[in-house]
Amino acid sequence: MAHDSTDNPDDRARKALRGAGADAPPEGLATPDVDPATGGDDEDDALLPDILEESGAIGEEPLATGHEAIERAVRLAPTSPGVYRMLSANADVLYVGKAKNVKKRLSNYARQSAPQPARILRMIAATVTVEIISTNTETEALLLEANLIKQLRPRFNVQLRDDKSFPYILITGDHWAPQILKHRGAQSRPGRYFGPFASAGAVNRTITALQRAFLIRSCTDSFFESRSRPCLLYQIRRCAGPCTREIDFPGYTTLVREATDFLSGKSHAVKQELAGEMEKASGELEFETAALYRDRLAALSAIQSQQGINPRTVEEADVFAVHQEGGFFCVEVFFFRTGQNWGNRAYFPRAEKTYTPEEVLGSFLAQFYDDKPPPKNILLSHEIEESELLANALSIKAGHKIEVTTPKRGEKKELVAHALTNAREALGRKLADTATQSRLLDAIATTLSLPHAPKRIEVYDNSHIQGTNAVGAMIVAGPDGFVKNQYRKFNIKSEGITPGDDFAMMREVLERRFKRLINPPEEGAAKTKDDDFPQWPDLVIIDGGRGQLNAVREIFANLGLTQVSLMSVAKGPDRDAGRETLFMPEREAIKLEPRDPVLYFIQRLRDEAHRFVIGSHRKLRKKDIREAGLQEIPGIGPSRKRALLHHFGTLKEIERASIADLGKVPGVSAESARRIFDYFHPQPG
């Protein structure tokens, strides 16, 4: 779906949000395109049995106390629309609900004679106070409820577990020659945004095809302004070359308009126009021009052929299908724009087993579109109770009519059935993966004699090159695998550290990490967006032998940490994987068989930490390289720098070049080429 960066949602809904004192949820982290594994403890995890389901009869006294609290709220509650929050004795929000008539809704909870589901009774028993926020309309109440659920994560609500933003395609509007690029985060730059796409891979494939079809530049403005001759993309017909005026302003504007029309849903008209131009050029015997139009048409067809299922009659829609199995839920979402499949993503919302698929899907949708623009059509696998109210709320936000339907026949029904099949398969894979991960955690607890299976494992590693650009990193794993929204990197700040002193680097990393846990800067600062996931580790793993282990033991002792298990992993002879030695305090070294699943699991943890810290180190080093320039390389002066930039165009292309390619530059000897290559591809320590 396309929209301008200046689009504004409904003012009344925003006023309701401000009145609640609720800030918008923070932007999702820009992480790798693998979906982040979100974890949880035994009590709250969406794919582990909820301990609340195992509770027996609820005592009369807590229920009476809860009913009294709700009755007090009923006496002051308005008969108008609003949002109510039920709070526990610790001021934790237990449940957020909305109602057209708040007094009437709360009265239903207060009636002790009426039968209530066990989930509702547990919620009432834990309630000590109720807070109410009035809104002008029920639509505003729906928007505010979704915002508060995402922000506060109440125990008894369905929770959308989503901390990753969607990528978009942006055609910029702040330059005479607009640029096409992938975009995440706040849409503050002027231009047209198209999306969402389910993954960065889908965006990259689409941009590549659009470049072939419409020849729009992808380079940065600074690169554009510095060109004196066309770059390689012009030579391979993926850019029209506006930087050196290979195309005039009206011609480039036409290309941008065609690309915008194609992404805006006018793909058929654009293809017809290009086909007409091809026929015209062919009729006038301008065969080279006709071939160019032919290639552009082929690129547009390639976009659709690479995307699997593409609807014939549905131009713009999001398709949602929910599947329930064993009390767990999966919501599969497909994005269709301009008649193309822009990808799909599976979600595993946290919800108690007593919720129905319809209830889960209804709550999921309101939260999903809290910070995303909706398409014209939303197709559902199950009929939800408040589909008309949701459609009205989303129509107000979008500024145009939104339809929320459950199709019964035709192609729309086929799209929903396809999504439902994917939801069923995704939940099956998730359950299988979780079971495997749980067995591995149980096995590592047995092997290492831990008191219980670890719910949070932290692995630490450092990286540097002769002490420069030193960086430490922490990766986290739990019952669902790697928890990437919990990863952290630490730029080493201490000036007194001797270059290459791994012990001192590890000391700084661990002290910064655990001092923040012990003494958070302010109330709740140590919590992350996934508050269900424990913040204290059960097991800490470091790379190294007995010496590194003893050094970390000393750090932990100084911090007063006694409840965290500690282990170090020493590489085998010649760094041979499969022959590692495990060290734990006051225990003999542990050697596991090369094919032991626990050893393989530990290797995976260590390798993931190494991958993450190396990636963080390279980003830091690249920043320094960009700031320092080529003159930092020994033996590379201004003349060779000019020759390299003239030959390759940018510093990024020089970095990518092989030794052989570097040696082809005039004035660059084989030895200089080797030095340049080693500068960009050092062996980290």
| 502 vs 73: which has the higher pLDDT | 73
Determine which of 358-372, 406-420, 461-475 has the lowest per-residue pLDDT on average: 461-475
Percentage, residues of the chain above pLDDT 90: 18
The pLDDT of residue 212: 81
The pLDDT of residue 29: 27
Of 31, 28, 52, 97, nearest to 350 (Cα)? Answer: 52
Q: Could you tell me the two tokens for 188?
A: 């503050």
Query: What is the average pLDDT across 462-467?
Result: 59
Handedness of CA 197, 201, 202, 204 (dihedral sign): positive
The pLDDT of residue 179: 92
pLDDT at 377 over 80: yes
Amino acid at 341: N
The pLDDT of residue 26: 32
> Could you report the per-residue pLDDT of 210-239, keeping only the tens digit for each?
888 888 998 988 888 888 888 888 888 889
Q: Are 156 and 374 in contact (CB under 8 A)?
A: no
Determine which of 267-271, 327-331, 517-521 has the lowest per-residue pLDDT on average: 267-271
The pLDDT of residue 55: 38
Distance between CA 104 and CA 100 in Å, rounded?
9
pLDDT at 381 over 60: yes
Peptide bond before 537: cis, by omega within 30 degrees of 0? no
- Confidence tier at 525 by pLDDT (50, 70, 90): very low
| 573 vs 189: which has the higher pLDDT | 189
Query: What is the average pLDDT across 251-278?
Result: 79
What contacts 88, CB < 8 A, 6 or more positions away?
94, 126, 127, 128
> Could you report the per-residue pLDDT of 548-566, keeping only the tens digit for each?
888 888 888 888 888 889 9
505-508 CB contacts, 8 Å cutoff, 24+ apart: 505/462, 505/464, 505/470, 505/472, 506/460, 506/462, 506/472, 506/542, 506/548, 506/551, 506/552, 506/555, 507/551, 507/555, 508/472
Residue 17 Ramachandran class (φ > 0 left, ψ -120 to 50 alpha, else beta) = alpha
Q: Are 641 and 629 in contact (CB under 8 A)?
A: yes
pLDDT at 84 over 90: yes
- DSSP conformational letter for 339: T
Tell me the CA end-to-end span of the chain in Å, nearest whole number.
46
Helix axes 357-368, 138-152, angle to 10 degrees: 90
Amino acid at 75: R
pLDDT at 7 over 60: no
Query: What is the average pLDDT across 10-38?
Result: 36
| 310 vs 378: which has the higher pLDDT | 378
SS3 404: strand
Q: Could you tell me the two tokens for 578?
A: 């499969």
Determine which of 192-206, 236-250, 409-423 has the lowest per-residue pLDDT on average: 192-206
Residues, the chain: 685
The mean pLDDT of the chain is: 78
pLDDT at 23 over 70: no
The pLDDT of residue 515: 85
The pLDDT of residue 455: 92
Radius of gyration of the chain (CA): 29
> Could you report the per-residue pLDDT of 586-614, keeping only the tens digit for each?
888 888 887 788 888 888 888 888 888 78
- DSSP conformational letter for 541: E
Dihedral angle, C-alpha 551, 553, 555, 557, nearest 10 °: -150
> Could you report the per-residue pLDDT of 324-369, keeping only the tens digit for each?
887 789 999 998 887 777 888 899 988 888 888 999 999 899 888 8
136-140 CB contacts, 8 Å cutoff, 24+ apart: 136/12, 136/16, 136/81, 137/12, 137/81, 138/81, 138/98, 138/99, 138/100, 138/389, 139/13, 139/389, 139/392, 139/393, 139/396, 140/12, 140/13, 140/15, 140/16, 140/81
- DSSP conformational letter for 52: G
**Domains of the chain by start residue, with CATH:** 47-152 (3.40.1440.10), 168-264+266-305 (no CATH), 317-429 (3.30.420), 457-620 (3.30.420.340), 629-680 (1.10.150.20)
> Could you report the per-residue pLDDT of 414-446, keeping only the tens digit for each?
999 999 999 998 888 888 778 788 888 999 999
